[in-house]
A and B are shown apart, each in its own frame.
Chain A
Amino acid sequence: GDSVTQMEGPVTLSEEAFLTINCTYTATGYPSLFWYVQYPGEGLQLLLKATKADDKGSNKGFEATYRKETTSFHLEKGSVQVSDSAVYFCALVYYGGSQGNLIFGKGTKLSVKP
Chain B
Amino acid sequence: NAGVMQNPRHLVRRRGQEARLRCSPMKGHSHVYWYRQLPEEGLKFMVYLQKENIIDESGMPKERFSAEFPKEGPSILRIQQVVRGDSAAYFCASSPSRATGELFFGEGSRLTVL
Residues in chain B near residue A92, CB distance under 8 A: 101
Contacts of B107 in A (CB 8 A): 41-43
Q: Does A58 contact B (CB under 8 A)?
A: no
Digitize A78-114: 1 where CB-to-B-CB distance is under 8 Å, 0 elsewhere.
0000000000010111010011111111110000000
**Number of residues from B at the complex interface, CB < 8 A:** 27
Closest to A107 in B: B42
Contact B48 A100 (CB under 8 A): yes
Q: Are A102 and B98 touching (Cβ within 8 A)?
A: no
Choose among B4, B31, B43, B100 the residue that contacts A89 (Cβ–Cβ < 8 A).
Answer: B43
Q: Is the CB of B101 within 8 A of A99?
A: no
Is B72 close to A, CB under 8 A?
no
B108 is contacted by which of A43, A89, A95 (Cβ under 8 Å)? Answer: A43
Q: Chain A, 52-76, contact with B by CB distance < 8 Å: what is the 0/1 string?
A: 0000000000000000000000000
Chain B residues numbered 12-58 whose CB sits less than 8 Å from any CB in chain A: 31, 33, 35, 41-45, 48, 55-56
Task: Verify B106–A99 contact, CB threshold 8 A.
Answer: no
Q: B76-110, CB under 8 A of A: which get 1 and which 0?
A: 00000000000000010101001111111111100
Nearest CB in chain B to that of A9: its residue: B40
Closest residue of chain B to A32 (Cβ to Cβ) is B101
Taking Cβ atoms with an 8 Å cutoff, the residues of A that contact B are 32, 34, 41-46, 49, 89, 91-93, 95, 98-107
